[in-house]
Chains A and B, each alone.
Chain A
């Protein structure tokens, strides 16, 4: 007998097959030519445009939109990639409503910004679909750079370095390159293998060797890289996960949300994925939202996000929160887990205390409630696993000579794909200046 959303426990196949296909397809499909033309025409081509300032990679947005409006999406895509080589993925995952689109003057004028993200996707998809890669390499410099981490920061860094004529080796501990683009974002944001397609497209520039299954500290040391290469870029992301520090955390079916999201991304047949009937997600960031939304999309009957502070402090964007609520996720704020309650070794419920966020910090109140749960996802933040020779909550622009950092592992900037791209790109420019300045 097939399962339904009401089937108790963690089971797969809660939905009919078509529902999976629908739920995990593109949430927001690409604009067609006419839609893009209309959307592009809304751009006012602002002077010293606020959207450019708001973009961590400083894409010349008015220019690329004008290029779309005048029928040259190829030129538009080039404008985007000049600043952000992962513009295709950023068009899908950027919280545009908090970046470029928030700054758009039409947001001020009528509360409806130009659809910058969707226009960006229109242009980049058009050109990527043709397999065109509009960048070439400068003459070889003979310099070799090691890039650790094939996520957004590492890939952006590698591409820019290759463009400048350096030879790049990108290492990543996982089986596939892409980092969080491949393993860490919700499936419906970049379906149809987009992350891998984008990596393949990016590598068309040449001069980049990707080594997967290579982990810093296990397979190679930072010292060895420094000895073997002219420069090293670390874009290793955040490898650790914070613990709940609540009793019962070790019960089975209590899981890190990032692992769940990764498994989900890698499973082509979503109907094979087990999901609880009553799912509780603890945390308030994008990871929490992605885990909760996808739990619902897999057919969980009840999905609740519980966040210990007020809703305004959730790091997931308002747009993401709204989306979660639209798919039926309940969001409870100002409550922290006290105990994970088990039955037969597995989680059966979670007990929460309401909280008060005051000047002295977060205070647990005596007011307690319990949520039924056969599956719990922890999404309360990730931590840096620093390589030997470095330390800290985030990597500093490093005391080690000829080592650069970028992305989530690095100090400064938000933990966004687009920020990682900017940091990787800028590190590449710094490395290039350093290597070429050091000649002779």
Chain B
């Protein structure tokens, strides 16, 4: 079995599966049970400054969207940082860490945006023997209204400033957690790096309203007839998170900056994808909240099996493997020509490919009286929509035309690699001549 041990910015854990800072990591009882279940580490639910703890709403905190059979696809929350006294959290963190030395214990922090506040909290957590801190610059609801969370994360200068304070007043490894509620994720990552961050973690939750109650006309989750935007997470956000992780992994300014991947990780596959795009480990929340701590067993066995099959001996072999293949549109090979192929034996005759192509794409699929669907190569632009709407896996595939073959749509032979940068229609190419 492959070795899943990871060393993330000097913090060792038996596997790359950490629980993210969230309700599952709010107290000793949960965290002990998580470690017993096999989780490699936890990021303790965000601590605030000393003083009266924050309060939470007493109505629903979560909203959701579901697939059929109520499978949870996306979850949002309006819960704030921990609402338990700081001393209690610190005592429990210390107690758990003492018993679970091989597991990663990170403390998430969110305090007002002044140096004294940060200096103070860092001092207070020193005694816990935690392995590192994560700066919560991400939460988009509630705390942001008080100038914390994503209110900091949306201003790169603040990120840099606070990160610098943290590095100055603490020797602990420092992870900066980024908000996705920003137009270019590279900017806050760069700021964190400038401030001296050891790593970034992303994504935090996305601003969202999960649904609107069409009887009471209130957003969900509804509190006494009103609702507010909450942080969205779960499987639905994974594609957004993957892209943001990849952007940081491949950007010149941030390349090599360790990343802890977060956002809809539900299975070992999701974790492997994040890691292939450059994440050194992953953090999980919604999947645990949906199915319980036990899912980590599948994550461990699945990732081990995959790595064994690929001949990978350590997670480092996987991390970043897909990063070189993430590129800009302009560098994609315009002479890579494919055509959709329908496996008639696998086809069940639903006709969704036909409806999609005929109504919304390129009219490249024919339908016979007896419901045989065929691709017309002279119309097919290889858009892949038929593949995506087909309910049968591998029934429709995209097959590459070999070099020299004639593309019936264009009448041209498939030529050597060429991209937009050299294409005659590109004005900047013309200008250069």
Residues of A within 8 A of B (CB): 34, 37-38, 41-42, 44-50, 69, 105-106, 108-109
Contacts and interface: CB of A to CB of B under 8 A. Distances in A.
B349 A108 contact: yes
A38 B349 contact: no
Given A41-B69, A44-B391, A108 B348 contact: yes
A44 B350 contact: yes
Given A109-B391, A109-B392, A47 B350 contact: yes
A46 B352 CA distance: 6
Classify chain B: how many residues form its interface, as a range. Answer: 10 to 19
B354 A47 contact: yes
A108 B68 CA distance: 21
A42 B70 CA distance: 13
A37 B68 contact: yes
A45 B352 contact: yes
Contacts of B371: 48, 50
Contacts of B69: 37-38, 41
Interface in B46-68: 67-68
A50 B67 CA distance: 25
Contact of A47 (B68, B351, B392): B351
Given A44-B391, A47-B355, A105 B350 contact: yes
B270 to A, nearest CB: 23
A340 to B, nearest CB: 49
Interface in B345-397: 348-352, 354-355, 367, 371, 391-392
Given A44-B391, A47-B355, A50-B371, A105 B348 contact: yes
Nearest to A48: B351
Chain A interface, DSSP helix/strand/loop, else mixed: helix
Contact of A46 (B67, B70, B350): B350
A105 B348 CA distance: 5
B68 A46 contact: no
Given A50-B371, A109-B391, A41 B68 contact: yes
Interface in B65-111: 67-70
5 cross-chain pairs, A with B, having the tightest CB-CB distances, nearest first = A47-B351, A41-B68, A47-B355, A105-B348, A108-B348
Nearest to B391: A44
Contacts of A50: 349, 371
A18 B68 CA distance: 38
A69 B66 CA distance: 12
A44 B68 contact: no
Contacts of A46: 349-352
A44 B354 CA distance: 13
Nearest to B351: A47
A110 to B, nearest CB: 9
Given A37-B68, A41-B68, A109 B351 contact: no
Contacts of A106: 348
Nearest to A39: B68
A106 B68 CA distance: 16
Nearest to B354: A47
B347 to A, nearest CB: 9
Contacts of B67: 41
A105 B349 contact: yes
A37 B349 CA distance: 24
A118 to B, nearest CB: 16
B350 A38 contact: no
Interface in B302-353: 348-352
Contacts of B70: 34
A64 to B, nearest CB: 17
A313 B69 CA distance: 40
11 contacts: A37-B68, A37-B69, A44-B391, A47-B355, A47-B367, A48-B371, A50-B371, A105-B348, A105-B349, A105-B350, A106-B348
A215 to B, nearest CB: 46
A325 to B, nearest CB: 30
A249 B391 CA distance: 57
Most buried by A among B67, B351, B352, B354: B351
B261 to A, nearest CB: 31
A108 B345 CA distance: 11
A326 B371 CA distance: 37
A38 B71 CA distance: 11
A41 B350 CA distance: 15
A34 to B, nearest CB: 8
B385 to A, nearest CB: 14
A108 B371 CA distance: 13
Given A46-B350, A50-B349, 10 more contacts: A34-B70, A38-B69, A44-B350, A45-B352, A46-B351, A46-B352, A69-B68, A108-B349, A109-B348, A109-B391
Contacts of A44: 350, 352, 391
A105 B69 CA distance: 21
Contacts of B367: 47-48
Given A105-B348, A106-B348, A38 B355 contact: no
A320 B198 CA distance: 70
Contacts of A105: 348-350
Contact of A38 (B68, B354, B392): B68
Nearest to A46: B350
A69 to B, nearest CB: 8
A37 B67 CA distance: 10
A37 B355 CA distance: 24
Nearest to A69: B68
B11 to A, nearest CB: 43
Nearest to A35: B69
A337 B402 CA distance: 71
Nearest to A71: B214
A42 B348 CA distance: 14
Contacts of A47: 350-352, 354-355, 367
Interface in B131-148: none
Contacts of A69: 68
A42 B350 CA distance: 12
B70 to A, nearest CB: 8
A37, A69, A105, A108 interface centre (most CB from chain B within 10 Å): A105
Contacts of B391: 44, 109
Contacts of A37: 68-69
A34 B352 CA distance: 26
Nearest to A109: B348
A417 B371 CA distance: 28
Nearest to A44: B350
Nearest to A47: B351
A105 B371 CA distance: 11
B343 to A, nearest CB: 13
Contacts of B348: 105-106, 108-109
A24 to B, nearest CB: 33
Chain B CB within 10 Å, residue with most, of A44, A45, A49: A44
A38 B70 CA distance: 9
B66 to A, nearest CB: 10
A109 B367 CA distance: 19
Interface string B24-43: 00000000000000000000
A46 B349 CA distance: 8
Nearest to A110: B348
A245 to B, nearest CB: 43
Nearest to A43: B350
Nearest to A62: B350
A45 B371 CA distance: 15
Contacts of A42: 68
A301 B354 CA distance: 56
A108 B347 CA distance: 9
A47 B67 CA distance: 22
A106 B354 CA distance: 17
